[in-house]
C-alpha cells in the first residue's frame, strides 16, 4: 500500500482550494488530500486511494460511514423537510433519549456545534452564580470561543492561574476572566477553586482531556469541591459523550457533573450539539422560570433540525445493541497493543496514551498526564509517523486514533502491518 499517488483531478482541486480557501483548507486538516467518500471504517480520496479511517470526521462517525440505518432515516426525513425552526418530533424524541442516558441531564437545549455548546454552558454557569470567572484546565479544548481559547496550547508557560490567549483577535480582558489550573493535579485545582470561589461562575473540564485519562480521584476531587463551594461543574463531553459508554465519560468514570456538553456522535454525522444539565441550571433558558434578569436567550437557525435528529436517533439505537462497547474496546485494545509493540520492536522511545476508543502515541520517555507532558514529546516525529501511515493506507489526523464500531478484522490487520512498517521507516528520524 506504500506510495499513494495523486491524480491530476485531485491535484487540480487542491490547487483550486488554495486559491479560494485561506491556507487551502476548511480550517481543520491540511488541504493536501481531498476525500471523495466513506463506507464503514474506510475512506477513499479523489484519486481512488483507499484508507482505514481513524479520523472518522473528527469523531462523529462512531458507528462508521454510511451506516444503512442512519442513511435510511436521513433519506426518509429529507423528503419531508430539512429544517423548520420550530419544534419537531424527531428532536424531541432525541432529547428524551439523551436525557435518559446522561446522569446529569434533566433537560437539554440544542445548538449546532460543540463551540456553541461549551460557550452557552459557561454562560449558564455565570448566569446561575452571578459571577464572571470560569476555571478551565491548561491544554483543555472547549471549542473556538474567546473564553475557550485560553491556554489551550501555550508555547510558553506562565504560573497558574494566569491565562494565555491562544489566538489573535481575543480581547485582553477575556484572559482576566479565566482561571487556569493543571489537569490531573487535584491539590492545585481544588486550592484554586477555594481561592476564587467568590468569583467563579463555574468550572469546565474535559473528563478525558484530549488524550489524557484522569488520574484516580482527580474528577472525584473536583466534584467534591464544586459541591462544597456550590460552583457548577461542567463536563465537556463533546468527544466522550456516548463514546466511552452509553452514559458518556460520566458513567465510565463514575462522576456526575452538574452540566455537560454533547456533540459529534449525537448528530450522527450532521451538525448537532447540546447543553444538558440540572433543571435549575437549564431553567436560565426559560424566561418564565427565572425572570427577565436571569434569562439567557439562545437562538440557532438549525438547532435541533430534524435531519440531524433522526441521524442521531438512529446512531443511538445502534449503540444500545448488546456488546457494542465491548466490540469497540476490544478493537481499540488490540490496536493500542500493536502500536506499542511496533514502537518497542523498532527501538522508539514512545508511550501510547488514552483509552481504547481514543488514543495516540507520544514520542517521549517522560510522564504524559498533563499538557506540559504532551508538549515535551517529539511532535515532528509524531507528524512523520502520521504521514508514513497515510502512505501505507491508514488515515488519521495530527492527533488521535478514533475507533469505530465499523472497524473490522481486515481494518485491524492492515493497521497493525502499517504500524510496524511505518515505525521501521522512522528509525533514522
Q: Is 22 a domain residue?
A: yes
* Residue 1 reports pLDDT greater than 50: no
The reported pLDDT for the residue numbered 136 is 98
Residue 4 confidence (pLDDT):
86
Q: Are residues 163 and 302 in the same domain?
A: yes
74 & 219 share domain: yes
Same domain, 344 and 209: no
Per the structure, the count of domains in the chain is: 3
Return the axis-axis angle of helices 306-319 and 89-101, rounded to nearest 10°. 40
| Average pLDDT for 185-194 | 98
- 210 and 343 share one domain: no
pLDDT of residue 145: 94
Rounded mean pLDDT, 237-248:
98
* Tens digits of residue pLDDT in 71-107: 999 999 999 999 999 999 999 999 999 999 999 999 9
The verdict on 281 and 380 lying in the same domain is: no
Assign 428 a pLDDT band (cuts: 50, 70, 90): low
pLDDT, tens digit (0-9, with 9 covering 90-100), for 378-405: 999 999 999 999 999 999 999 899 999 9
pLDDT score, position 429 = 59
Same domain, 265 and 346: no
The reply to whether 183 falls in a domain is yes
Q: Which of 85-99, 149-163, 293-307, 349-363 has the lowest mean pLDDT?
A: 149-163
Q: Give the residue from 285, 319, 353 where a domain finishes.
A: 319
Q: Mean pLDDT score of the chain, rounded to an integer?
A: 96
Task: Determine, yes or no, domain membership for 398.
Answer: no
Q: Long-range pairs for 412-418 at CB < 8 Å and ≥24 separation?
A: 412/331, 412/334, 412/335, 412/338, 414/1, 414/52, 415/52, 415/54, 415/335, 415/338, 416/334, 416/335, 416/338, 416/342, 417/392, 418/1, 418/52, 418/389, 418/392, 418/393, 418/394
Active site residues: 141, 236, 264
DSSP for 45-87?
Answer: ETT--EEEESSTTTTT-TT-BT-HHHHHHHHHHHTT-S--SS-
Is residue 368 a part of any domain in this protein? yes
* Predicted model pTM: 0.96
Query: How does residue 427 score in pLDDT terms, banded at 50, 70 and 90?
Result: confident
Region 328-345 average pLDDT: 98
Domain finish residue from 265, 289, 319: 319
Mean pLDDT confidence for 321-326: 97
User: Is the confidence at residue 266, as pLDDT, over 70?
Assistant: yes
Residue 425 lies in a domain: no
- Mean pLDDT within 107-111: 98
- Residues 10 and 93 reside in one and the same domain: no
264, part of any domain: yes
Q: Which domain holds residue 154?
A: 68-319
Q: How many CA atoms are closer than 13 Å to the CA of 193, on its beta-carbon side? A: 26
Could you tell me if residue 57 is inside a domain?
no
- Could you tell me if 96 and 139 lie in one domain? yes
Asked if residue 60 has pLDDT above 90, the reply is yes
Whole-number pLDDT of residue 3: 72
Domain boundary among 261, 288, 319: 319
- Given a contact cutoff of 8 angstroms between Cβ atoms, the answer to whether 140 and 206 are in contact is yes
More confident residue, 157 or 233: 233
Please give the distance of CA 281 from its chain centroid, rounded to a whole number. Answer: 23
Is 50 exceeded by the pLDDT of residue 152?
A: yes
Q: Are residues 19 and 83 in the same domain?
A: no
Residues 187 and 81 occupy one common structural domain: yes
User: Which of the residue ranges 26-30, 129-133, 347-351 would you say has the lowest mean pLDDT?
Assistant: 26-30
Percent of the chain with pLDDT over 70: 99
Q: Across residues 320-341, what is the average pLDDT?
A: 98
Q: What's the CATH code of the domain at 158? A: 3.40.640.10
- 271 shares a domain with 180: yes
DSSP 139-164: T----SSTTTSBSSS-SS---TT---
Q: What is the mean pLDDT of residues 271-299?
A: 97
Residue 411 in any domain: the answer is no
**One domain, residues 146 and 257:** yes
Amino acid at each position: 500500500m506504500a506510495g499513494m499517488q495523486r491524480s491530476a483531478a485531485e491535484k487540480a482541486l487542491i490547487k483550486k482550494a488554495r486559491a479560494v480557501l485561506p491556507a487551502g483548507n476548511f480550517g481543520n486538516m491540511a488541504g493536501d488530500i481531498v476525500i471523495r467518500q466513506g463506507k464503514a471504517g474506510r475512506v477513499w480520496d479523489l484519486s481512488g486511494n483507499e484508507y482505514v479511517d481513524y479520523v472518522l470526521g473528527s469523531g462523529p462517525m462512531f458507528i462508521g460511514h454510511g451506516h444503512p440505518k442512519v442513511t435510511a432515516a436521513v433519506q426518509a426525513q429529507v423528503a419531508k423537510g430539512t429544517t423548520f425552526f420550530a419544534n419537531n418530533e424527531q428532536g424531541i424524541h432525541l432529547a428524551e433519549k439523551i436525557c435518559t442516558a446522561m446522569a446529569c441531564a434533566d433537560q437539554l437545549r440544542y445548538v449546532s456545534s460543540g463551540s456553541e455548546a461549551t460557550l452557552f454552558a459557561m454562560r449558564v454557569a455565570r448566569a446561575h452564580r452571578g459571577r464572571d470567572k470560569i476555571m478551565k484546565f491548561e491544554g483543555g479544548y472547549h471549542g473556538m470561543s474567546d473564553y475557550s481559547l485560553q491556554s489551550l496550547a501555550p508555547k510558553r508557560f506562565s504560573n497558574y492561574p494566569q491565562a494565555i490567549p491562544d489566538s489573535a483577535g481575543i480581547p485582553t480582558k477575556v484572559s482576566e476572566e479565566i482561571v487556569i489550573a493543571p489537569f490531573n493535579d487535584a491539590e492545585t485545582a481544588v486550592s484554586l477553586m477555594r481561592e476564587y470561589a467568590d468569583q467563579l461562575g463555574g468550572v469546565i473540564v474535559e473528563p478525558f482531556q484530549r488524550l489524557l485519562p484522569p488520574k484516580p480521584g482527580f474528577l472525584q476531587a473536583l466534584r467534591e469541591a464544586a459541591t462544597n463551594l456550590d460552583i457548577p461543574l461542567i463536563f465537556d463531553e463533546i468527544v466522550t459523550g456516548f463514546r466511552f459508554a452509553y452514559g458518556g465519560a460520566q458513567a465510565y468514570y463514575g462522576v456526575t457533573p452538574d452540566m455537560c456538553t454533547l456533540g459529534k456522535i449525537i448528530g450522527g454525522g450532521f451538525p448537532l450539539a447540546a447543553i444538558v444539565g440540572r433543571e435549575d441550571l437549564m431553567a436560565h433558558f426559560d424566561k418564565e422560570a427565572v425572570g427577565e434578569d436571569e434569562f439567557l436567550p439562545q437562538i440557532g437557525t438549525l438547532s435541533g433540525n430534524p435531519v440531524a435528529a433522526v441521524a442521531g436517533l438512529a446512531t443511538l439505537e445502534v449503540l444500545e445493541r448488546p456488546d457494542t462497547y465491548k466490540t469497540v474496546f476490544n478493537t481499540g485494545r488490540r490496536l493500542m497493543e500493536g502500536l506499542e509493540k511496533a514502537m518497542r520492536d523498532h527501538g522508539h522511545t514512545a508511550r501510547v496514551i488514552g483509552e481504547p476508543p481514543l488514543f495516540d502515541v507520544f514520542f517521549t520517555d517522560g510522564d504524559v498526564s498533563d499538557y506540559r507532558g504532551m508538549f515535551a514529546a517529539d511532535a515532528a516525529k509524531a507528524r512523520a509517523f502520521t504521514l508514513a501511515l497515510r502512505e501505507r493506507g491508514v488515515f488519521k489526523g495530527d492527533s488521535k486514533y478514533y475507533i469505530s464500531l465499523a472497524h473490522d478484522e481486515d481494518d485491524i490487520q492492515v493497521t497493525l502491518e502499517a504500524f510496524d512498517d511505518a515505525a521501521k521507516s522512522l528509525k533514522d528520524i
